[in-house]
């Protein structure tokens, strides 16, 4: 049991280090009218639970959503970032904060869940073969460890994103930071997952 817990914690950390950055930015945005903290936490749980469910189903030999196409969800953070950036550019400097807040409020629960899923193609790739070799008991223990660590990740992201020194340091650029991070995340997911070349091949 101890070894299973250690392995589960290692897998979670290895596949979710980048989520700390995303959660930090989301909680930073929540202090300026972005998604509410409960939406971020629940969205993270909803998105991560979906990734785990897909991995378990795939481990049983059933492919509901081919993991190579999960990366296509990278358009979600990309679209959110582009909209936020476009709205910021349309307004004067005095109105930037209002427009940024308006764009971030649109993220919401499902938006956070979508971002989590889009950023989780590597999770599915790693979890599926592991669940295939695990016993039902080890799989259940692993999932429990995952769910506990999601809470820890959210707590860490909130601690950083709502830290007074962090918010003060980022005050001048925070209305640009979130759109830029989302755009970068979306592009990274689309490129790293290789979904764009696959889509071109299918359409071609």
pLDDT of residue 123: 80
Domain that holds residue 188: 2-203
> Total domain count for the chain?
1
| C-beta separation of 123 from 65 below 8 A | no
Q: How far apart are alpha carbons 89 and 198 in whole angstroms?
A: 33
Per-residue pLDDT of the chain (204 residues; tens, 9 = 90+): 888 899 889 888 888 887 888 888 888 878 777 788 899 999 999 999 999 998 888 888 765 555 555 566 677 777 777 877 776 666 544 454 554 455 555 567 888 888 888 777 678 877 887 888 788 898 999 999 999 999 999 999 898 888 877 766 666 665 676 677 778 877 776 776 666 666 666 665
Contacts of 170 (CB under 8 A, 6+ apart): 28, 177
């Amino acid at each position: 049991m101890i070894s299973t817990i250690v392995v589960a914690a290692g897998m979670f950390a290895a596949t979710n280090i980048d989520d700390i950055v995303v959660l930090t930015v989301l909680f930073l945005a929540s202090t300026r009218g972005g998604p509410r903290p409960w939406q971020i936490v629940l969205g993270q749980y909803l998105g991560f639970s979906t990734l785990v469910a897909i991995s378990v189903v795939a481990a049983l030999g059933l492919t509901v959503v081919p993991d190579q196409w999960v990366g296509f969800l990278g358009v979600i953070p990309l679209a959110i970032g582009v909209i936020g950036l476009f709205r910021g550019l349309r307004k004067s400097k005095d109105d930037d904060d209002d427009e940024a807040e308006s764009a971030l409020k649109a993220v919401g629960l499902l938006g956070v869940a979508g971002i989590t899923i889009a950023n989780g193609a590597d999770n599915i790739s790693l979890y599926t073969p592991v669940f295939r070799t695990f016993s039902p008991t080890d799989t259940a223990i692993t999932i429990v460890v995952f769910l506990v660590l999601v809470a820890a990740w959210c707590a860490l992201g909130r601690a950083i994103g709502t830290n007074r020194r962090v918010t003060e340091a980022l005050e001048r650029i925070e209305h640009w930071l979130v759109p830029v991070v989302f755009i970068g995340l979306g592009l990274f997911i689309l490129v790293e997952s290789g979904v764009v070349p696959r889509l071109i091949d299918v359409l071609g």
